[in-house]
Amino acid sequence: MSANARIAEVGEAISYEELGLAARNHAFPLEALRYDVTPVGLHYLLTHYDIPALDADRWRLRIEGAVENPLTLTLDELKARPRVSQTVTFECAGNGRARLSPRPISQPWLDGAVGNATWTGTPLAPLLQDAGLRPEAVDVQFTGADHGIERGVEQDYARGLSLAESLRDEVLLAYEINGQPLPPQHGFPVRLVVPGWYGMAQVKWLTSITVLDQPFIGFQNEIAYRYRVTEDGPSEPITRIQPRALMAPPGFPDFMSRSRVVDAGEVRLSGRAWSGWAPISNVEVSVDGGQTWKAAELDPPGERWAWRGWGFQWTAEPGECELAVRATDAAGNIQPVDQPWNRQGMSNNMVQRVPVTVR
Amino acid sequence: MSANARIAEVGEAISYEELGLAARNHAFPLEALRYDVTPVGLHYLLTHYDIPALDADRWRLRIEGAVENPLTLTLDELKARPRVSQTVTFECAGNGRARLSPRPISQPWLDGAVGNATWTGTPLAPLLQDAGLRPEAVDVQFTGADHGIERGVEQDYARGLSLAESLRDEVLLAYEINGQPLPPQHGFPVRLVVPGWYGMAQVKWLTSITVLDQPFIGFQNEIAYRYRVTEDGPSEPITRIQPRALMAPPGFPDFMSRSRVVDAGEVRLSGRAWSGWAPISNVEVSVDGGQTWKAAELDPPGERWAWRGWGFQWTAEPGECELAVRATDAAGNIQPVDQPWNRQGMSNNMVQRVPVTVR
């Protein structure tokens, strides 16, 4: 087992293994930034193994470990509990990986591993309280039904989350997306929703919640989702979403290259911005490839964990140009112009660049 | 403008342009073969340009050209007409392109450009009759709202279909998929459904239907979707779906390679098979890499234009093996073991092969 993804040679093209992942794991097409709530089928998807086949009638959720009263819940019992809906932006921690140079070899995301959906479910904290947390509880392990092998380790997908994060009011056990039962690919029948965190925390196809009296040391926390710059150096866990703004590419595309053509004149640029650390405070647009930046107009703030719309009026003049956009959050985090390279290709929130031909 | 896609050099890896297409254009993950009707979000998607933004209230469908009474219909008017539902297997004509060697450069599909959905709408033929077909009518042009450039040609996506095919009872103008309004990516508000044909005929985001007094000669019929073996040689139009069977890969996968691990013992292999030419008459499975073939059991036939389930009981013995499956239709078409190579990478229905480690 290697702790790290392989790094491609400089100039090494995409492999068939990477292509296979890119085909299975759906990216969000950027024109869908026009929808505040992402329609089912356009939200990004990352499935580590296979989408499992679960039967709602036979499904049970166990809450166990360092609790006084282990619980086993049916789906109906879960649905009978208090019902909450919230709109939350999800992003894969590996978004932008294939734009790193050299490229870590894994799911080769470009920019599109995002989505913003309305999740309905029941808050987790009262369930943990009902189970009776023991004083030694420190971490909570969430295990899904998806089973596979990763870097030699056979596993059910499982993630640990600190008890403090698990007890946040807005952490949900969700059974609906956009007002309909979860489809298989989004975790049917029940998934975890941890607002502000990257997608690896949003465990799908939940089967058990195990309260631990020591920190979780499973593969997905200790090996896979780490920010590590040198091969054997120290690493930090991946947690919340770094700020990012994306632009719906203006004009229309070429089929193969996706390069854009825009008619000269007034063009309304628009898109969305988000951060898991703090609300978005500023979005800036460059129409000269990042040499100069101007403030975009922010839409009125919506729900805290949903992305925020922005717009920018651009007078497009004939010729070639490169558009770019970057977000800053209220904690002072700003998207970098240069790549934040790391060995596993995590949280690359380098600014998006959109080459455009104005005619 | 070139009439052909570029052909990759022997051994040339996947380009970033191909990766960009693979990310946008979602493949069907093969474990979803377990669902007879493909859930929204798992059906394959191929969008030539951008998904357009259409407003149902302002949308109109024009029926014009060689007709006595040109019609303009609102969505409500279309929905007030007779309502029909049918389950139809769609497949992209480029499915399997990235398995050809050398590889034509375009959307790099592996095996997953398929899906089987229930489409609800109104039959097209009575609408054409209401518009009053003139005697000189020979072809019908279906135009969508998606706009872009392809091999130098700026266009709204448009396809021609012969009048005879257009008047088939089962050709629908569909406004629902699986009982819900079409989501944007499947052609909202209305798309064409031509059972038995590859996906290029299933025009999405319909805006006009133009009856022609001579054959349609637009880009998508005359240039893009052609079966052509030599660069300047003759070509044939792509029409109906060649037979194909796919297997849900058994066992569980490795994250990166998607290679499969299966426990020794009795394993039920299963999947689906379809053909646009005739009903499926035979599905065969090989567990020795194609050296020998045995008949699979076919599920009872369902709707004519939907795929047909099959199953095969396999006693898996420890070691490495390669599974394969092939379909034959009642017209005698059978999937080839060798690649049916052509310059644009169309209708590659070479048999699927699934390497498996039995432990």
Query: What one-character-per-residue DSSP string does B302-358 give?
Result: --TTS-EEEEEEEEE-SEEEEEEEEEEETTS-B--SS----TT-----PPEEEEEEE
By Cβ distance, the residue of B32, B148, B150 closest to A51 is: B32
User: Cβ A98–B48 below 8 Å, yes or no?
Assistant: no
ipTM over 0.90: yes
Looking at the partner chain, which of A19, A35, A154 has a beta carbon nearest the beta carbon of B22? A19
Residue A1 in this model has a pLDDT that exceeds 80:
no
Mean pLDDT of B249-272: 97
- List of chain A residues whose C-beta atoms are within 8 Å of the C-beta of residue B19: 14, 18-19, 22, 98, 108, 110
Q: Which residues of A touch B27 (CB under 8 A)?
A: 23-24
Beta strands per DSSP E along A74-231: 84-91, 114-123, 139-150, 153-162, 172-177, 180-181, 191-193, 206-212, 226-228
Peptide bond preceding A102: is omega within 30 degrees of 0, i.e. cis?
yes
Measured distance CA(A127)–CA(A129) in Å, rounded = 5
Task: Give the residue carrying structure tokens 């825009």.
Answer: A262
User: Would you state the pLDDT for residue B2?
Assistant: 57
Which of A2, A10, A19, A186 is the mutation pick for testing B, counting most B CBs within 10 A?
A: A19
Given a cut of 50, is residue B61 above it in pLDDT?
yes
| Residue A233, pLDDT score | 85
C-alpha B185/C-alpha B199 separation (Å) is: 14
A122: Cβ contacts below 8 Å, ≥ 6 apart = A78, A79, A81, A82, A83, A84, A172, A173
Collapsing DSSP states into helix, strand and coil, what is residue B175? strand
Confidence of residue B232 (pLDDT cuts 50, 70, 90): confident
B301-335 per-position pLDDT tens digit: 999 999 999 999 999 999 999 999 999 999 999 99
- A15–B19 C-beta distance less than 8 A: no
CB contacts < 8 A, A to B, total 171
Q: Give the distance from residue A201's alpha carbon to the nearest chain B alpha carbon, in angstroms.
A: 17
pLDDT at B1 > cutoff 50: no
Contacts of A348 (CB under 8 A, 6+ apart): A95, A96, A97, A99, A100, A339, A340, A341
- Assign domain B16-237 one CATH number from 3.90.420.10, 1.10.3720.10, 3.30.300.10, 3.40.50.10540: 3.90.420.10
The predicted pLDDT at position B12 comes to: 83
Determine the average pLDDT of the residues in A158-171. 98
pLDDT at A85: 98
**Does pLDDT of B233 surpass 90?**
no
The values of phi and psi at residue A189, to 5°, are -90, -20
CA distance A215 to chain B (A): 25
Q: What pLDDT is recorded for position B80?
A: 98
Question: pLDDT tens-digit profile of A289-345?
Answer: 999 999 999 999 999 999 999 999 999 999 999 999 999 999 999 999 999 999 999
| Range(s) within chain A of domains with CATH label 2.60.40.650 | 244-358
What crossing angle do the helices spanning B16-24 and A16-24 adopt, rounded to 10°? 20
CATH level 3 topology of B244-358: Immunoglobulin-like (2.60.40)
Rounded CA gap, A322 and A356, in Å?
6
Query: Average pLDDT in the B342-353 region?
Result: 96
Name chain A contacts of B2, Cβ cutoff 8 Å. Answer: none
pLDDT band with cut points at 50, 70 and 90 for residue A12: confident
Query: Which has the higher per-residue pLDDT, A233 or A220?
Result: A220
CA distance B133 to chain A (A): 34
Distance from B255 to chain A by nearest Cα, in Å?
5
The pLDDT value recorded for residue A5 is 79
> In the predicted model, what is the mean pLDDT of residues B192-202?
98
Residue A3 structure tokens: 């702790």
Look at A98 and B19 and tell me if their CB atoms are within 8 Å.
yes
- How buried is residue B250: exposed, middle or buried, by Cβ count under 10 Å (0-12/13-18/19+)? buried
Using a pLDDT cut of 90, give the percent of chain B over it: 95
Residue A78: pLDDT above 90? yes
Q: Given an 8 Å threshold on Cβ–Cβ distance, is B258 in contact with A20?
A: yes
Which of B233, B150, B235, B244 minimizes the C-alpha distance to B198?
Answer: B244
pLDDT at A232: 82
Nearest to B94 by CA among B274, B306, B257, B242: B242
Mean pLDDT of A104-118: 97
Provide CATH 3.90.420.10 ranges for chain B.
16-237
Tell the burial category of A214 from Cβ atoms under 10 Å away from its Cβ (0-12, 13-18, 19+).
exposed
| C-beta separation of A248 from A33 below 8 A | yes
- The helix/strand/coil state of B276 is coil
Residue that has been written with the tokens 């420190």 in this structure: A138
